Structure 1
Amino acid sequence: MSDKSLFIYDGECPFCNHFAQLIELKSSLPEFEIIDGRKNLALLTQLYNQGYDLNKGAILISDENIMHGADAINWICSEIKEPSDSLLEVLRIIFTSNRMTNFLFPFLLWGRRFSLTLKGKVWHPVSGNHQFF
């Protein structure tokens, strides 16, 4: 990774939050910034207007490329070379396979939606009706 990469996740989702913390603290990815999309609604709205909906998965911007959902998770896990956490190692092994990532990703989305519902939070932090600029 030559340029800084930006990972945008849903900070209200406990699974997303834990994954982001693991990546930030244990992955040793250089030039990698992690932000909570719900705390950055202007950026999230701009990405939504480009077709990237946080409700359909985390968003990764790297080298001017935007990856979304399963592709973002797969890319991150493929970039982790020597994780210093056993859970992160398991996730890396599972999610470096495109086939496994695409198979499991709908279950991850379901878990996110279920946990947000239990917390009384909306699934869509932004929609087409929000305009910040």
Structure 2
Amino acid sequence: MTVTREILLVYDRECPACDNYCRMVRIRRDLGELKLVDAREHSEVMAEITGQGLDIDQGMVLKLDGQLYYGADAIHALALISSRSGFFNRLNFWLFRSRRLSAVSYPLLRWCRNLLLKWLGKTRINNLEVPGRERF
């Protein structure tokens, strides 16, 4: 009997770029099942993220084997466990397999995300309840 691990990817589903990325990324089947979690909905994992002081507006979170990977670390870890099937997943692996490249590119991606959400008139998730941070 094979036991599949549940691997959680927590992100802002209202962000079109984040949503497309998370729906397209595939992990290797032998590692488990990737479950997408909308950070705007109350969940146990969001309570854990907030409890760790992680601002979901500043980075997605990958939960793998009980460990939380945040922002650039999340995209790097996701690249390492991703499938290499299809153009998108091969490109994702190539771009983010390097911890250094992930650390450099993630802030730019986050800036683009924040700009897109501001342009779309979306509010922040504000899981850390920072005063004065309602909109992008």
Structure-1-length-normalised TM-score: 0.82
CA distance in 2, matches of 1:114, 1:105: 14
Aligned pairs, how many?
Answer: 126
Q: Give the Cα separation in 1 of the matches to 2:71 and 2:8.
A: 14
Secondary structure in 2 matching 1:35: strand
Q: Is structure 2 residue 122 aligned with structure 1 residue 121?
A: yes
The SS at the match of 1:38 is coil
The answer for unaligned runs of 5 or more in structure 1 is: none
Alignment of 1:18-97 (within 5 A): 18-23=20-25, 26-29=26-29, 30-40=32-42, 43-83=45-85, 85-97=86-98
Higher RCO (CA 8 Å, separation ≥ 6 residues): 1
Map of 1:10 onto structure 2: 12
Give me the identity figure in percent. 25
TM-score (ref. length: structure 2):
0.81
Q: 1:32 to 1:48 in 2, by over 3 A?
A: same
Cα deviation, residue 86, structure 1: 0.9
Distance 1:51 1:125 in 2: 12
Amino acid at match of 2:84: E
Q: Post-superposition, which runs of at least 4 consecutive aligned residues in structure 1 deviate over 6 A?
A: none
Q: Is the 8 A contact 1:78 1:96 kept in 2?
A: yes
Q: What is the root-mean-square deviation of aligned Cα atoms in Å?
A: 2.2
Q: Which runs of 5+ in 2 are unaligned?
A: 131-136
Q: C-alpha displacement at 1:91, in angstroms? A: 1.6
Counterpart CA distance in 2 for 1:58 and 1:115 is 16
Q: How far apart in 2 are the matches of 1:27 and 1:62?
A: 12
